Chain A
Amino acid sequence: MNRYARTAGWLSVLSMGLGQLYNRQWLKGALFLLTHITGITLITTVLSKHIAGFFTLGEQGQHLVKVGKIYKNVPGDHSIFMMIYGLLSIMVVLIYLFIYYMNVRDAVANGRMREKGQPTKSFIDSIRYGVNNNFPWLILAIPIIGVLFFTIMPILFMIFMAFTNYSAPEHIPPKNLVDWIGLQTFKDLFTLNVWSDTFFGVLTWTIIWAILATVTCYFGGILVALLINQQGIKFKGLWRTLFIIPYAIPQFVSLLVMRNMLNDKFGPINQYFRFFGLDGLPWLSDPFWAKVSVIVVNMWIGIPVTMVLVMGILTSIPKDLYEAAEVDGATPWVKFRNITMPFVLFSTAPILITQFAGNINNFNVIFLLTKGGPSSIDYNMAGKTDLLVTWLYKLTLENNKYNVASAVGILIFIIIASVSIFSYTRSKSYREEDMIQ
Chain B
Amino acid sequence: MKTKRSLRLFFSYLLLIFIGIASIYPALWTIMSSFKVGDSLFSDTFIPNQFTLKHYSDLFHPENIAGKQVPYVKWYWNTLKIATMSMIIGTMIQLLTAYAVSRFRFKGRKTLLSTVLVLGMFPGFMSMIAIYVFLVQLNLLDTPWALIIVYSAGAALGLFVAKGFFDTIPKSLEEAARIDGANHFQVFSKIILPLSRPIITYISLMTFTGAWMDFIFAGLILRSRDQWTLAVGLFNLVDSYSSTAFTLFAAGAVLVAVPITILFAFTQRFLVEGLTSGANKG
**Which of A's residues lie within 8 Å of B, judged by CB?**
80-81, 84, 132, 134-137, 139-140, 142-144, 146-147, 149-155, 157-158, 161, 224, 227-228, 230, 232-233, 239, 241-254, 256-261, 263, 265-268, 271, 300, 304-305, 308-309, 312, 348, 350-351, 354, 357, 361, 363, 367-368, 389, 392-393, 396-397, 402, 405-406, 409, 412-413, 416-417, 420, 423-424, 426-430, 433, 436-437
Is A147's CB under 8 angstroms from B126's CB? Answer: no
Contact of B123 among A151, A152, A413 (CB under 8 A): A413
Contact of A154 among B15, B130, B215, B235 (CB under 8 A): B130
Is B234's CB under 8 angstroms from A140's CB? Answer: no
Enumerate chain B residues within 8 angstroms of A428, measured Cβ to Cβ.
282
Closest to A249 in B: B257
Is A256's CB under 8 angstroms from B243's CB? Answer: no
Cα–Cα, bound, A157→B133 (Å): 11
Q: B114-158 interface mask toward A, CB cutoff 8 Å, 1 = contact, 0 = none?
A: 000111011111111111011000000000000001101111110
Given A252-B235, A261-B29, output 7 extra A-B contacts at Cβ < 8 Å: A154-B130, A233-B13, A248-B260, A263-B41, A361-B123, A409-B122, A430-B282
- Nearest-neighbour CB distance to chain B for A116, whole angstroms, equals 24
Q: B227-250 interface mask toward A, CB cutoff 8 Å, 1 = contact, 0 = none?
A: 000010011001000010010011
Is B41's CB under 8 angstroms from A267's CB? Answer: yes
Any A CB within 8 A of the CB of B80: no
- Nearest-neighbour CB distance to chain A for B127, whole angstroms, equals 3
Closest to A436 in B: B167
Closest to A304 in B: B23
Contact of B23 among A135, A137, A246 (CB under 8 A): A246
Given A389-B123, A413-B122, A417-B118, the answer on whether A250 and B152 have CB atoms closer than 8 Å is: no
Is B154's CB under 8 angstroms from A147's CB? Answer: yes
Any A CB within 8 A of the CB of B176: no
Is B123's CB under 8 angstroms from A392's CB? Answer: yes
Is A268's CB under 8 angstroms from B29's CB? Answer: yes
Is A239's CB under 8 angstroms from B20's CB? Answer: yes
Enumerate chain A residues within 8 angstroms of B155, measured Cβ to Cβ.
143
Given A147-B119, A256-B234, A300-B22, the answer on whether A248 and B171 have CB atoms closer than 8 Å is: no
Q: 10 A-B pairs, CB-CB below 8 angstroms?
A: A157-B127, A157-B129, A230-B12, A243-B23, A256-B238, A260-B249, A361-B123, A393-B125, A424-B282, A437-B170
Enumerate chain B residues within 8 angstroms of A146, measured Cβ to Cβ.
93, 152-154, 156
Is B12's CB under 8 angstroms from A143's CB? Answer: no
Is A250's CB under 8 angstroms from B126's CB? Answer: no
Closest to A166 in B: B129
What size tier do the contact residues of chain B reach?
Answer: 35 or more
Cα–Cα, bound, A238→B152 (Å): 37
Cα–Cα, bound, A142→B99 (Å): 14
Any A CB within 8 A of the CB of B181: no
Is B275's CB under 8 angstroms from A309's CB? Answer: yes
Enumerate chain A residues within 8 angstroms of B133, measured Cβ to Cβ.
80-81, 84
Q: B171-198 interface mask toward A, CB cutoff 8 Å, 1 = contact, 0 = none?
A: 1000000000000100000000000000
Cα–Cα, bound, A361→B150 (Å): 20
Enumerate chain A residues within 8 angstroms of B40, measured Cβ to Cβ.
266
Enumerate chain B residues within 8 angstroms of A312, measured Cβ to Cβ.
272, 276
Cα–Cα, bound, A329→B35 (Å): 58
Cα–Cα, bound, A246→B25 (Å): 10
